Structure 1
Amino acid sequence: MKFGISYFGPEPLFHLRRDFLLSMKYGLEDLGHDVVLNGLSLESDRFNFVVGAYFLPNAEIPKIAQSGLRHAHVNTEVIAQDMLNFNPQKVDFLGAYLPAIRAGQFAWDVILDNLPEYKRYGVNAHFFRWGWDQKLEDIQHRQEKDLDFYFFGMMSNRRKQIVQSVRQKGFRGAADHSCPYFLRNDRIARAKVQLNIVQEEKYTHVNSFRVCYLANNRCAIVSEHEQDPAGYLEMTRLATAQEMPDVVADLVTNNKWRELGEKAYALMRQRPMKAILEALLDTSGLK
């Protein structure tokens, strides 16, 4: 089958969504499908997976359905209280985004806790779990690592404070708000430990994009406790914000980070993206 993957977010966020889009592409290709990345468009001769439609102006969102092209939405944000990400300004959820999702053939969602919301709205939705793919093993780890820790993601004040608390423990590290993926990957390769930090306290769900990509690449991950019904945080060492500096210290000074990275990778490999997408396509009625 021929598929296209479209992403309607602003250009800087392409780097933050790079791993997710490629995981979809590679998994579908592993099943023998013809897959292209469409960017900001849809293709008439393909079934289109639409990611990030909520970034479009409200008046533009309905045009996806009005195009008459076969498509489905892939949602990556929390749905709760008739809003997206608890932010009424993010998108007109009830007036624009939800009708667009309903107009698609089905919906895939990366957050398991969103499924009861879809049921409440009468939407045919399915959980899209992240899985392992060999082609996403693209971190070339340095034999001698010169960074103790690294964090990449939107740098809220909360995240800045936690990163600073690790630095104050005497460890050398880096943090990037937004950067090209090849710079990010170079810093991942240099760091012994990768951090997964909650952006704001209201965002309680695990960031599967960060955790799964790092686990796919044999990385040691220290994560805050988050809402995690899918069990992704089994691949991490858990810590509260206050505990994080001491946990990093334990992994670095006692050289436990290598073992933690191998454990994460072994758990990730138990769920190949190829098998996940094969079941998901079948459940969604696509062959």
Structure 2
Amino acid sequence: MKFAVTIVSPLNYVHAAAFTEIAETVHFALKSLGYDSVLTTEGNIPGRQHVILGSNLLPHYPLPIAPDAILYNLEQVDRDSNWFSPALIKIFKSHRLWDYSEKNVSAFKEYGVNIDHVVPVGYVKELTRIRFVKNPDIDVLFFGIMNPRRKSIIDQMSLNLKVGVINGTYGKRRDALIGRSKLIINIHYYEVKVLEMVRLSYLLANHCAVLSERSSEHDLDDLLEEGVAFSDYKDLANRARELIDSPDERAKLSKRGFEIISARSAIEYLREAVKTISN
């Protein structure tokens, strides 16, 4: 079987790059399993089984996609999300669907959408690649789209810490900023609080010290507890200060976080997922 791992990439839409690391994870895992795989922005290459990331963009960017394409959803299911539309639900219902989150399975059922297989976010060695500077000059780095609940925490931290905030910066430029940072913070965008495993997995794969708001996925929080500093929303700013003042604790988080994520083999997750394709 030949694969094409597709990132839906509208012209001049920089945020499509947010899917790059997971696309690479799927691609390298498939190659490790012995399959022919290519990374692409095309949706219908003859003779290849497409796995498409960024399907939430399809209602606004009608990329022609193969009828048998698999849509791999990496977004949280939330009624308040501006991408969760009847048009997208129709697209999901017309294709085989993978999802990264068990929590999304029940949420999708409310809309009559069936998840064919849950493919958790896993680890491949090719994604351990960020280089860290000897003397980091950023205390806390946040990257993502801003909203009031995120801004409130960032404003609190900025009172006594050097905080970096980036949005729309990906790839090597973002990695360089991560490499200059002592701590990365993860703050949920939605009140539903689904854990951002897409974001966290890449950070942990690169030995980052991570502070995260607790999520509604208690099983995942428990799994990562030793490798991620979890905190309630109201305590995030104070916890960030504590971690900046404790290099030893950050080093322990970095070490244990990498151990935890590297045990989540993307190769094994894809091995099981591929078995379902012919079913």
Paired residue for 2:174, among 184, 208, 214?
184
SS in 1 for 2:151: helix
Distance 1:189-1:52 versus aligned 2 partners, 3 A rule: same
The answer to whether the aligner puts 1:252 opposite 2:236 as a matched pair is no
Letter in 1 for 2:234: Q
Matched residues in 2 for 1:192 and 1:54: separation?
33
Report the CA distance between 1:59 and its aligned residue: 9.7
Deviations 1:19-50 (A, max 9, x none): 11111111111111111122143211100112
Q: Could you tell me which residue of structure 1 aligns to residue 97 of structure 2?
A: 107
Q: CA distance change for structure 1 residues 88 and 78 in 2, over 3 Å: closer, same or farther? A: closer
Deviations 1:133-162 (A, max 9, x none): 110001112222221111111122321221
Q: What is the alpha-carbon distance in structure 2 between the residues aligned to residue 60 and residue 177 of structure 1?
A: 25
- C-alpha change, 1:158 and 1:132, in structure 2 (3 Å) is same
Counterpart in the other structure of 1:217: 206
- AA of the residue aligned to 2:124: D
- 5+ residue gaps, structure 1, are 80-84
Q: Structure 1 pair 34/245, CA: closer, same or farther in 2 (3 Å)?
A: same
Q: How many residues align?
A: 272
Provide closer, same or farther for how the CA distance between residues 150 and 124 of structure 1 changes in structure 2, counting only shifts above 3 A: closer
Quote the residue 2:131 is aligned against: 140
CA contact (8 A) 1:112 1:230 kept: no
Pair 285,246 (structure 1): closer, same or farther in 2 beyond 3 Å: same
| AA in 1 matched with 2:141 | Y
Percent sequence identity is 21
Alignment of 1:189-204 (within 5 A): 189-201=179-191, 203-204=192-193
| Residue of structure 2 in register with 1:82 after alignment | none
The DSSP-based 3-state class of the residue aligned with 2:27 is helix
Alignment CA distance shift 1:173-1:36 (3 Å): same
Name the residue aligned to 1:5. Answer: 5
Alpha-carbon distance between aligned partners in 2 of 1:132 and 1:117, rounded to the nearest angstrom: 26
Cα distance, 1:212 vs structure 2? 0.8
Structure 1 residues 286 and 257: alpha-carbon distance in aligned structure 2, compared to 1, 3 A threshold:
farther
Counterpart in the other structure of 1:57: 59
Q: Structure 2: which 5+ runs fail to align?
A: none
Q: TM-score, normalised by structure 2?
A: 0.88
Q: Secondary structure at the match of 2:233?
A: coil
Give the secondary-structure state (helix, strand or coil) at the position aligned to 1:175.
Answer: strand
Instruction: Determine the C-alpha separation between the residues in 2 that align with 1:271 and 1:88.
Output: 29
Query: How far is 1:118 from its partner?
Result: 4.9
Query: Does the 8 Å CA contact 1:198/1:224 hold for their aligned counterparts?
Result: yes
1:171 paired with 2:161, answer yes
Change (3 A) 1:151 1:44: same
